[in-house]
Amino acid sequence: MKRFFNIQRVVSGLLLVILSGSSSGRMDDSMSYPLMAMQMYNTDLHDSLRVDYDLTAIEISAEIARLKTQGENLPARLLNNLYSNFYRQLEFDKACLNLLDSIDFNEDTLSIEQRKALKQLLMVSQFYYNIYSSNEYVKRILNLGNISYDIPVDVLMVYESILFSEEYREALMRTNSTNGAFDYSGFLEQLPPSRSDVEAFIDIDNSLDLPFKAFESITFNGAYLFSSIVGYFEGSYEARHNASKLLEVLQPYDIVLMKSSQNLTDFFIPGYFGHSAIWLGSDRYQAFSESPAKPTIDSPFMIEAVRDGVKMSSLEEFSSGEVFLVLRPKNISLTQQVSVFHNSTMHLGKPYDFNFDSEASDMISCPELTFLAYDFVDWETGSLLNKTFITPDDIFTTATQDTSLEIVALIDHGKLIKQPDVDDLKFQVEN
């Protein structure tokens, strides 16, 4: 029993550190969530914004469940909204976590504010359990973590350890007579029963995921090894010449698809095109240079996901291929430009996603970078093992069908063709 509590406190303490620095137990149907949320209305720990974020979470989780049960793929906008909304929820939790930092829940008597903070933390833990953890699709996505939104790995498991902790409940009831008249005993009766050592430490649902996680790990490591080896045999197709041709036609926020049939890594990507990237163009936000200037083929304004991870590249570094297709969002607004910039650069430094799982943003493949950056586009996607994935060819297909995108240029073995015929391109890609 002592061993279990030590493990639990380490895990819960980890959440305190991470967040401060940056089906049983379902809710009683008679107890509506808005009522639970507003029980903290007299404190600074909760306000109407938190209620809005929680209600948004309910809508997002329900939409994900609906789409997945119908066998449909998840759109980028829904995934981005899930991450950003959960990030805001975690930001609210920091107030509670800060008040509870350095507390010995086995010994200390909590102050009035600390008890309110612990009560709030138990409430949100139950909410996350009911809305996120009980949804197998959302649970998997969030537990993978996302450093771009400061979401720790296995974050929902940590909140479950809080929800089902016996020591936190005992600490809530350990009080002086001056600690207020709120019925904490009645509050605890609304929570699911605490779990025993074995029940809490061995999570059956998570244990069932282990074979699938092992399969993903084998797939990732095998693909990384393969890509690392064949990457050294990549050919060059007059990169400077290709880069110069691209520079003639590129505008900020263009998407570039690339094919390099003699590069072995191209065989690893299904379809005709083997790579995609985003041209951010002139550094208008001064994020990568102190004095923005007219871009050249050496300007590091191309963001791409390669086997070493997401990085900024120059046109010359990018242009080692033989066929390039330039796609352009039509009438892109300033708001959309800022969104693309933010939604792409936030992934800088992430490792390459050799599992090609678009629903997991802990790693990013080249087409997934485009997918998430342009979340206002209705992308063509595929499905494998009930998970969404996207390829560079899916990006091309979307451009031929979606009126919000246009194909502006083709560079084929050094020859620049503006406004190429779409039917000819389809024939080239399909054959």
Confidence of residue 9 (pLDDT cuts 50, 70, 90): very low
Tell me, what's the pLDDT at 6?
Answer: 36
| Closest-CA residue to 162 (of 198, 120, 107, 134) | 120
Phi–psi pair at 311, nearest 5 degrees: -150, 170
| 180/390 Cα distance (integer angstroms) | 55
Residues 2-19, mean pLDDT to the nearest whole number: 39
Q: What is the pLDDT of residue 386?
A: 81
Assign 266 a pLDDT band (cuts: 50, 70, 90): low
Q: What is the pLDDT of residue 263?
A: 58
Would you state the pLDDT for residue 314? 94
Provide the pLDDT confidence category of residue 426 given band limits of 50, 70 and 90: very high
Binned at pLDDT 50, 70 and 90, residue 95 comes out as confident
How far, in Å, CA of 393 to CA of 366, rounded?
Answer: 12
Mean pLDDT, all residues of the chain: 81
Give the DSSP H/E element, type plus range, for residue 411: strand 405-412
pLDDT above 90 covers a percentage of the chain that reads 57
Write the CA distances from 86 to 56, 124, 128, 139, integer angstroms. Answer: 10, 12, 10, 12
Instruction: Give the percent of the chain with pLDDT over 70.
Output: 74
Please provide the DSSP assignment of 329-386 as one string: ETT--HHHHHHHHHHHHTTTTPPB-TT--TT-TTSB-HHHHHHHHTTTS----EEETT
Alpha-carbon gap, residue 344 to 369, rounded angstroms: 6
C-beta neighbour count of 184 within 10 angstroms: 18
User: What is the model's pLDDT at position 374?
Assistant: 98
Band the pLDDT of 138: cuts 50, 70, 90.
very high
- In the block, which residue shows the tokens 């993903």? 216
Query: Which of 28-32, 97-101, 235-239, 251-255 is predicted with the least confidence, judged by mean pLDDT?
Result: 28-32
User: Measured between alpha carbons, how far is 74 from 135 in angstroms, rounded to an integer?
Assistant: 14
Q: Is the pLDDT of residue 379 over 60?
A: yes
What average pLDDT does range 180-204 have in this prediction?
71
Residue 127 or residue 111, greater confidence: 127
Residue 19 pLDDT class (50, 70, 90 cuts): very low
Q: Which of 174-183, 320-329, 378-387 has the highest mean pLDDT?
A: 320-329
pLDDT(11) > 80: no
Sign of the C-alpha dihedral, residues 162, 164, 170, 172?
positive
In this prediction, residue 23 carries a pLDDT of 33
pLDDT tens, residue by residue, 288-339: 666 666 889 998 999 999 988 999 999 999 998 999 999 999 999 999 999 9
pLDDT confidence band for 411 (50 / 70 / 90): very high
Question: For 390-410, what is the HEC assignment?
Answer: CCHHHHHHHHHHCCCEEEEEE
The helix or strand, by DSSP H or E, that contains position 303, with its residue range, turns out to be: strand 302-306
Average pLDDT over residues 32-54: 57
Nearest Cα residue to 274 out of 96, 153, 405, 395: 395
What's the pTM? 0.81
265 — pLDDT class (breaks 50, 70, 90): low
- The predicted model gives 366-386 an average pLDDT of 94
Contact by Cβ (8 Å): 330, 317: no
Region 362-388: what's the mean pLDDT?
93
Residue 47 has pLDDT above 60, yes or no: yes
| Distant-in-sequence contacts of 199-206, Cβ < 8 A, 24+ apart | 199/164, 200/4, 200/8, 200/160, 200/161, 200/164, 200/165, 201/4, 201/7, 203/157, 203/160, 205/136, 205/139, 206/157
Q: Of the ranges 10-24, 258-272, 396-410, which is most confident? A: 396-410
Instruction: Give the model confidence (pLDDT) of 206-229 as tens digits.
Output: 544 544 454 454 444 444 444 444
* C-beta separation of 282 from 252 below 8 A: yes
Closest Cα partner for 182 from 128, 254, 118? 118
Q: Which two tokens stand for residue 35?
A: 């009522």
Computed on alpha carbons and rounded to an integer, the radius of gyration of the chain in Å comes to 25
Q: What angle do CA 204, 210, 214 make, to 5 degrees?
A: 180
- Evaluate if residue 8 carries a pLDDT over 60: no
- How far is 431 from 427, CA to CA, in rounded Å? 6
Q: What pLDDT is stored for residue 236 in this prediction?
A: 55
